[in-house]
Copies of this chain bind each other. A is one copy, B any other.
């Protein structure tokens, strides 16, 4: 069987991660790389015997499936163009940086026959996959606190530029909005406060979330908190138990009425596996090969964008905001 030809649009850090993972999948062949800076495309292509191409059009011609790993604000147009040529698309998160765009991509992806997967890698990270299993089993969640901080918006420099990222919440905390849906279900409404301190955009947020099933949670996220471990932590309060993740390094939980606990540690896993990159890329190729539904859909991408947008709106309006799950 012919190998699936992969094209990569955008040759930055995360492109390199996907390339190295895909290099380990015998069903695919890294065919082409495009970047607005040709030298970047050449460097990545060179490392994997792929062809650096000069235009996204040329890339689409040489590919059966594309990875969109450009800056966030370019995801929409490239996704729509790629779907339009019938290619399978893996689009890095966020799906878009506003709701209208996200809905356009969702609609386009829904009508297409090709696979469309969004890069919410954490669903595949062992620490979160295990937490999900536990919450679906004997540890039904009562409430939760979620934290996702960044140390700064300086390294790399573009992380502090909303023209590139779409805004801090679209770049980093969007992972947690997807995680909350994954773990706790659909959000019904949220209420947020935000403030601006170090950067030219809001960099500290406090959020209250109500879920359709009665769950409730708080989220704290700061872009200027320094890298005090853990910067990413989900604490779920359940039936006489607390379950805590720290980064994607460990899952700790206790049961019963005492403070004893068990910790599952992922620290020995290679980073690409610990963060779920290996598993999400394999899932994408599986979906192509099997003609099956991808595990993170355009709908998931859309809903995360709606949640982020609702936070920004709630901060502006100083009022609670309903979150629609209508399509």
Binding site for B on A (CB under 8 A): 47, 142-145, 147, 149, 151-152, 154-155, 191-195, 197-198, 203-210, 214-220, 222, 224-229, 235, 237-242, 244, 252-265, 267-268, 271, 319-320
* A206-B240 in contact given A220-B218, A260-B264 (Cβ < 8 Å): no
Q: Which 8 A-B pairs have the closest CB atoms?
A: A193-B216, A218-B218, A227-B259, A208-B208, A145-B220, A222-B237, A143-B204, A228-B242
Bound Cα distance from A271 to B272, whole angstroms:
12
**Contact between chains at B206 and A225 (CB < 8 Å):** no
Residue pair B267, A259 in contact (C-beta under 8 Å): yes
Contacting pair B261 A152 (CB below 8 A): no
A259-B265, A265-B259 as given contacts; A225 in contact with B241, CB under 8 Å: yes
Chain B's nearest CB lies how many Å from the CB of A256? 7
Shortest Cβ distance from A50 into chain B, in angstroms? 13
Q: Is the CB of B216 within 8 A of A206?
A: yes
Contacting residues, chain B, for A147 (C-beta < 8 A): 145, 235
Q: Is the CB of A216 within 8 A of B235?
A: no
Residues of chain B lying within 8 A (CB to CB) of residue A209: 206
Cα–Cα distance between A192 and B271 once the two chains are bound (Å) = 38
